[in-house]
Amino acid sequence: MSKLPNCPKCNSEYTYEDGTLLICPECAYEWTAGSESESDELVVKDSNGNVLQDGDSVTVIKDLKVKGASSAIKKGTKVKNIRLVDGDHNIDCKIDGFGAMSLKSEFVKKA
């Protein structure tokens, strides 16, 4: 887990995330994170909103058609050792029977 910033209003350290918002439970202040030093950091989230990291294993949550392949990647396919990249298809990985692939993080969940 990455450490969340303290509340900019009351400096409480008990802040928590809700989607893209950061919320302070002590003074109820809400703000958006990431405008400061973390703006360059690549954050890739799965279909459940869990943050993915390089080397994670994920499960495909729907059948995915593959350009140039005769079959689709089946729902439930496990993908090991993913690598996060910038872009529309933000996961690089290798899938048995398909080879090197790019996936969208919205179609996987953390295993």
Following DSSP, what letter does each residue of the chain receive, concatenated? Answer: -PPPPPPTTT--S--EEETTEEE-TTT--EEE--SSGGGGS--EE-TTSPEE-TT--EEE-S-B--TT-SSPBPTT-EE-S-EE-SSSS-EEEEETTTEEEEE-GGGEEE-
Stretch of 7-15, 39-47, 54-62, 71-79 lying at the interface with Zn ion (CB under 5 A)? 7-15
Q: Is residue 7 near Zn ion by the rule CB under 5 A?
A: yes
Q: Is residue 10 near Zn ion by the rule CB under 5 A?
A: yes
State which of residues 22, 24, 79, 84 lies at the interface with Zn ion (CB under 5 A).
24
State which of residues 5, 6, 29, 104 lies at the interface with Zn ion (CB under 5 A).
29
Interface positions with Zn ion (CB under 5 A): 7, 9-10, 12, 24, 26-27, 29
